Every structure is written in C-alpha cells, then in structure tokens.
Structure 1
Amino acid sequence: MASKATFHHAVWQVELRFKPLRMMEIDVASANGSRQRELVWYLVYQLRNTGSHLKPVPKVNAAGDEVFEVERVDHQVRCFPNFVLASLDHDRLYEPRMLPDAVRAIHAREIRDPRVKLYNTVDVSTLPLDVSTEEDDRGIWCVVTWTGVDPRSDFLSLYVQGLTNAYQWEDPKEPPSENAGPVESAVLTYKTLQLNFWRPGDTIRESEDDIYYGMPDGLEGDELERVLEIYGVEQPVDYRWVYRP
C-alpha cells in the first residue's frame, strides 16, 4: 500500500489573510446578456509568499546510505487556490463563480484604493508570488465569490486548497481489486485549510453582519455535541488543517 512507499518532494506554502465573509446584492450579467440582481457571497483575502519552503536534499551518511535532510529555501511560488463553501447543516457544496461585475463592486466597497488591484481566483494562478519581507510586502489582494447559497444555512465551512502543495496518500475506504495497481490502491489527498463560520439562518433577511468566524460559543451538553458533529471536530475550533481529495 501507499504507506509502505517513501516520497520525497519539495513543499511550499503561502500565507492566507482574509477579511470577514460577507454578502452583497449585485447586478450580474447572465449567459444571454441580460442582467439580474443576485445575492453574492464573497471573501476578500490576501496571499503572501513568506518563503522558508521545504526542500529535501539527498546526503550520504556515515554508513554510506543515502538519506534526505530538509533545507529551508526562499523562492517564487505560483499557486492555484480553490475555495469550496460548504453548508454543513444542509449538505451543500458551492463552487466559486467568476463574476467580473462583482469584483468591481467589491473592490469599490472593500479596497477603495484604485492603485490596489483585486484579483479573482483565476487571475491568481497566472501570477508568480515573490517572497515578502517585513520591508517589502509582495502580497496580492484577491476575492472569491459564490451565488445561490442556501439562506437557511447556520453552519458553514470554507475548504481552501492550493495554499500549499503538500499531499498524502491514504488507503481507500473500499478494498482495492486484486488486479489494482499502486495508484488504484491509494487515494491522493491534498492539505486543505478548513475555516469555520456560523450564522443564524434567515430566509427573509440575509445580512453579512450575521456571519461570524469560528463556531458558536456558549453551547453545552447535547447541543454542543450536535454542533461538534456537524463541523466534524472534537472541540470548538476556528480553523484546522485537513486532507481532502
């Protein structure tokens, strides 16, 4: 199985900073060219390459065997972030939508400085990120948008992939067939940041002021156990790292 094999590869990571998860009504162009007003959920975030990436370096030890040591290196990074918004209590996943009209409206609301560009998630993948330092911040501001989010949602998680190229192989839940090769016998999963949010679901009046980062506090007993099960955690956390396909 995959657990018996050793893989050596360089690992990079970028830093994520983000503003509150919010929503905004925006006139969005449809496929037929008409415009309609939609409630757009969005997250404005910043990506920074802080360097100190991990590089495996082969060396020969005193016994003459090849071993690998880890060196920390600074280099440019190109990342491909993906943000999937999950309505946990309604078992729905929302993929990002590319909305140029929304980016302009959100820039006017959140950034306001015409000298600072706000990139969408597709733009980010075309931009190499240089290493930022305390004296020279090379971070870029970006936004991700979703539509059609169930207004009844009380508990949400945002799964972010592409902040690192770290991965791991996991044994499949179902036993592989007798003729399965090593790739078929294991599942490749990617290191994923899970950001938790909660809000009082409201089908009539949706407000970004009611979206809170983290998990509800002050819960006890059965209600606490129920909420922990919904988020898939053992204790209340604002975020955690998980591995997902």
Structure 2
Amino acid sequence: MLTVIPADRSGDDALLRADIPEITAGLGDLAWEPKQSPIGATLVEQGRNRDFPRDIWALEFAFKPPRQIDVDVPARDFRMQRKRVWYLLYRVKNSGARRIVMADGDAWRFRSETVQQPVRFLPHFVLESVEGLSKQEGALAFRAYLDRVVPGAVAAIREREDTRLDLHDSARMSERDLAPGEERWGVAVWEDVDPRIDFFSIYARGLTNAIRWQPRADATFAADSVPVTGEEHVLESLRLDFWRPGDDATSLDDEMSVGHAGMYERRTIGSRVLEALGRGRQTASAPREGLQQLGLTWEEILDPPAAVKAAASVDRDTPPSLVPLKKVVNALARLQPPAARPAAIRTLFGGVGEEWFEDLVRGLTAPLDEERGTLRRGMLDRCGVSEEDVANRPLESLVKVLAALDATTPAATRRSAAVALFGAAAPRLDSLVHELDLARARAVLDDMDFDRRPVLSGGALTASDAMLTVFGAETDAAKRARMVTGLLGAEGPALLAAATAVREGVDHAWVFRYER
C-alpha cells in the first residue's frame, strides 16, 4: 500500500522573523532613546524582528512500508556474499514552491503564491532506533544506520516490487533536477541493521529547503562579529515510524507496519508494568515486604540523578547505575541477626534472585588459578579491598566493589572488570540489577491506587494508559517524578516524555524535526 504525504502548502516557513544579533547584541551599547523620533528609528531597534522572505519548496513524498531482501554484495576479499538489507520504496514529486508577496500592494499584508521551479532532491535517509535490545542496554539504546548505495540491490528490489519502475538509488536520484510536476521513484537501502530491532524510525531529509536558525548557546556577539557565525541553521526532516512483529525469522515477503511517535515508549511502559505485576507470582517474592525487612523503602533505592541524566542521552556505552543494588547490599550487611539475611533476600528477589546473589558473593571469594587470582587481586586492590576483607567481611567488601564498578565506564570496561572480579558469576550482576528494578517497580505499584483487573487482562498499551492516567492525576511534581523513576528506572523520565508527546489513539502521525 502506498502512503502519500502531500507537500506543505502553508507559508509558515516562507517568511521568518528574527533579530539580527550582530546588531541587537553586538551593538547593544549603541542603544539610545530619541526625543523627537520614534524609538524604532534607531539602529538597534531596526535590527529587531526583521522579515526574511524566501522561496520554499517541498516535495510530495509517498512510500511503501519497509521490507527486507537478500542480495549479493561485494565483500572485502572481492567476492560476492549474500546479505540481508532493509529498504524503503518511495516516490517524490515536485509540486511547486511557495513565495510570500504583498497582498494588493499593501506592505503590511502578505499572501502566499505557488511558483514553478526545478528542484534538486538530495536524499538523506537515516534509520534510527532507541529500542534497548538487552538487559545491559536497558529500555533505551540509540542505533542509527545511514542509507547506502548497495550495488545489485536496486535491480533485485525492482524485480520484486515492479519491473515497470525506474528506481533510483540516492546517488542517481541526486544527479539531475526534478522538473515542475515530475515524479520519480527511489529506494533507500540500509545494510547491517540489527535484526533484533522491532521499533524504528526513518528520517528523510532533503524533501524541503525550509530552514530555521537560532543563536548558538555558546555564541557571543561584538561590534566586529562576522555575520551568521554565531548562529546555527537547522533543516527540516520528515520522521516515519514503523514496527514489525517478530524478529529476523520474519518472512522477507512481509511489509513492516506503520507506527506512530511514542509507540515504542508506550509499549515499553506497559510491558514494564505487566512484568513487574507478574514477577511476584513467578519468583514467589514480595518486594515491598523485603525492603521493609531491610529497613528500606523504594524511594531510597531510586537511581541517582546522574543516572537519570545519562539515560536521557540514550547512550549504549553508559551502563546502568549500581547505586540501588549497593544500598540493598549495604542494608543487608547491617541486618541483625545475620541469620535473617537469607530470608530478606529471598523475600525481595524470590528464590531465583537469592540464588543469583549467592553466586555473586561466591564468585568474589571462590579460589582461582594463579593467573586469574592475580588478576582478581589487582581488581580488588583498585576497589580498596583485600582478599582478607573479602573472606572476613564479604558483604561489606561487595559494597565497596559495587561502588568502584559503578564509577567504571564505559559498559565494556565495566563488564571486563566484573569478569575479573566475579569470574563466571559476572552475568549475575546485570541479572540482579534487572531484578531489583522489577522489585522496586512492584513496590511502587503496590503503593498506587488503581484498578489492576483491566491491566492484567489487557495488553501493554492498556497497562501504559493506566499508568499515564495515574501519573497525570498526581499533582505533586516531585512525587510524580519519584513514581516515574521508581517504576521505570533511570530511563523513566525520557520514556514518559516521549510517550506523552503524541495524542493517544493516533494510528500514525507525520512528525517533523529540525536537525543540524
């Protein structure tokens, strides 16, 4: 099915108003107030709110949902190899430009008129995903793939889609102008896309010459400033959202489905709620009671502000915070009598979590061969812990180790350090972090007043809608922020912002963004 997005016919971008900062800021010391003339006659005031008219063209854009295809591509050894690529079949049409002119000769009234002119389309397609694909990455992890010219792909795609089409790749598309009224078919191709991605967006740039500009955050203006050097210009890009059910085993004949902005984030929120509600039955845990046995509340094991800020950047190299787990282990070390500790861990994490925790502690104290033992001693020394400390005070030593690991970045470096410290039990660290996130989320849900029956009987979107209602009803902004972080972790604020940025119930929406 071909989806058509008409060209923007409004005149919003054809006439922009802005100050000239080289005058208003750079020559601000020349500002003065005349006695016998209007203040608008001065140089500084004439530099404010100036009109910048220009012809704006926008192409009509039509597309079919993305698909996958296996094609032969050249390898580094000059041989051909079979590779799966993703592609987007599209059509562009030059439907004219918009020009702002005076209305009936009145300098204070303007109207927009259409002008016909050739347009050079320089396609720039980027496939992006913020979907976390592993426990280590969390819910949000940024990936981006640039459209490539893949020899042999265009012919294979044309054979599959329609042999009557004259398909252009991005290089051939930009060779000549689009004449007024001309239509042209093209295809964007992406290589090496992670096959685990289910939710993604495609940003198409080059469909319009509309721009916006603003002073750079670090810009300074003086009397001798070179014009526009202190400004940044951004271009308009079209965002298309898609999702696909399944994984790499999905049939190549299947088209991916059109989604909408915020769809992945809403599903992620709902999935977290359903997972947290069902975790207690699966693991026989009672997180709120477990925290009470440790003398903690869920608000005391929130991710720190630095982790929330880092999560908002959607950086795959930033590992999750270990501060909440460190606080739990520290509380466990203080719990008296020591015989009560296993029950507290079992209540908080369930039987599986208790086993993982014991594996982690044993991994820190287990005997090793000489080479690995030397490596672990070196890592313990960096953590400010000795082997004697580990043997005599294992929980207190684990607290120090977690604090040192929390300060270790990027994620790959932390994983290497964890392997050196815990050996084969190192994966238990990420598992416990995830289990503690779910335990905290369940404790938050236990404190919420909402009807769980429709949530448990519905799907992820139903659960998400229920949570958005609860969050919206909370008038205390600080408490709402704690609830969001407690339920969704460090990525909660970013997830909520994206999920609520679109109107609920929209099947798809065309979203434009401006990018440098």
TM-score by length of 2: 0.41
What aligned pairs does 1:73-222 form with structure 2 within 5 A after superposition?
A: 73-89=115-131, 90-113=141-164, 116-132=165-181, 138-172=182-216, 174-177=217-220, 183-200=228-245, 202=247, 204-208=248-252, 209=254, 211-215=256-260, 219-222=461-464
CA RMSD, aligned part only? Answer: 3.0
Alpha-carbon shift at residue 186 of structure 1 (Å): 2.6
Task: Work out whether residues 235 and 515 of structure 2, in 8 Å CA contact, stay in contact via their aligned partners in 1.
Answer: yes
Secondary structure of the 2:152 match is: helix
Structure 1 residues 153, 21: closer, same or farther in 2, change over 3 A? same
Structure 1 residues 7, 161: closer, same or farther in 2, change over 3 A? same
- Name the structure where strand makes up a greater proportion of residues: 1
- Name the structure where helix makes up a greater proportion of residues: 2
Match of 2:69 among 11, 19, 24: 24
Match of 1:3 among 15, 18, 26: 18
Question: In the alignment, which residue of structure 2 is the partner of 1:47?
Answer: 92
Structure 1 residues 178, 125: closer, same or farther in 2, change over 3 A? same
Structure 1: 5+ residue runs without aligned partners? 133-137
Give, as a single letter, the amino acid of the residue that structure 1 aligns with 2:158. H
Secondary structure of the 1:46 match is: strand
- Identical pairs, percent: 33
Structure 1 residues 68, 210: closer, same or farther in 2, change over 3 A? closer
Task: Work out whether residues 160 and 193 of structure 1, in 8 Å CA contact, stay in contact via their aligned partners in 2.
Answer: yes
Give, as a single letter, the amino acid of the residue that structure 1 aligns with 2:86. W
| Post-superposition CA distance 1:117-174 (Å, at most 9, x none) | 1111111111221222xxxxx31111110011112212211111111100111343x3
Task: Work out whether residues 65 and 255 of structure 2, in 8 Å CA contact, stay in contact via their aligned partners in 1.
Answer: no
| Post-superposition CA distance 1:58-102 (Å, at most 9, x none) | 79966xx69865331122221112111101213111001101211
Give, as a single letter, the amino acid of the residue that structure 1 aligns with 2:112. V
Alpha-carbon shift at residue 193 of structure 1 (Å): 0.6
Give, as a single letter, the amino acid of the residue that structure 1 aligns with 2:143. R
Task: Work out whether residues 149 and 189 of structure 2, in 8 Å CA contact, stay in contact via their aligned partners in 1.
Answer: yes
Secondary structure of the 1:145 match is: strand
Give, as a single letter, the amino acid of the residue that structure 1 aligns with 2:146. E
Structure 1 residues 238, 228: closer, same or farther in 2, change over 3 A? farther
Alpha-carbon shift at residue 205 of structure 1 (Å): 1.4
Structure 2: 5+ residue runs without aligned partners? 1-16, 21-50, 132-140, 268-458, 469-491
State the structure with more CA Rg: 2
Structure 1 residues 71, 238: closer, same or farther in 2, change over 3 A? closer
Give, as a single letter, the amino acid of the residue that structure 2 aligns with 1:9. R
Structure with larger RCO (C-alpha < 8 A, sep 6+)? 1
Q: Distance in 1 between matches of 2:218 and 2:497?
A: 27
Secondary structure of the 1:220 match is: helix
Q: Distance in 1 between matches of 2:203 and 2:101?
A: 32
Alpha-carbon shift at residue 183 of structure 1 (Å): 2.9
Give, as a single letter, the amino acid of the residue that structure 1 aligns with 2:93. R
Alpha-carbon shift at residue 231 of structure 1 (Å): 7.0
Match of 2:114 among 72, 76, 86: 72
Secondary structure of the 1:131 match is: coil
Aligned residues: 232
Give, as a single letter, the amino acid of the residue that structure 2 aligns with 1:211. M
Q: Distance in 1 between matches of 2:142 and 2:496?
A: 15
Q: Which moved more, 1:82-91 or 1:213-222?
A: 213-222
Q: Distance in 2 between matches of 1:67 and 1:211?
A: 47
Structure 1 residues 37, 155: closer, same or farther in 2, change over 3 A? same
Task: Work out whether residues 118 and 142 of structure 1, in 8 Å CA contact, stay in contact via their aligned partners in 2.
Answer: yes
Secondary structure of the 1:76 match is: coil
Task: Work out whether residues 153 and 201 of structure 1, in 8 Å CA contact, stay in contact via their aligned partners in 2.
Answer: no
Secondary structure of the 1:50 match is: strand
Give, as a single letter, the amino acid of the residue that structure 2 aligns with 1:175. D
Question: In the alignment, which residue of structure 1 is the partner of 2:273?
Answer: none
Structure 1 residues 25, 233: closer, same or farther in 2, change over 3 A? farther
Q: Distance in 1 between matches of 2:83 and 2:219?
A: 45
Task: Work out whether residues 29 and 101 of structure 1, in 8 Å CA contact, stay in contact via their aligned partners in 2.
Answer: no
Q: Distance in 1 between matches of 2:255 and 2:184?
A: 27
Q: Which moved more, 1:193-202 or 1:89-98?
A: 193-202
Q: Which moved more, 1:181-190 or 1:116-125?
A: 181-190
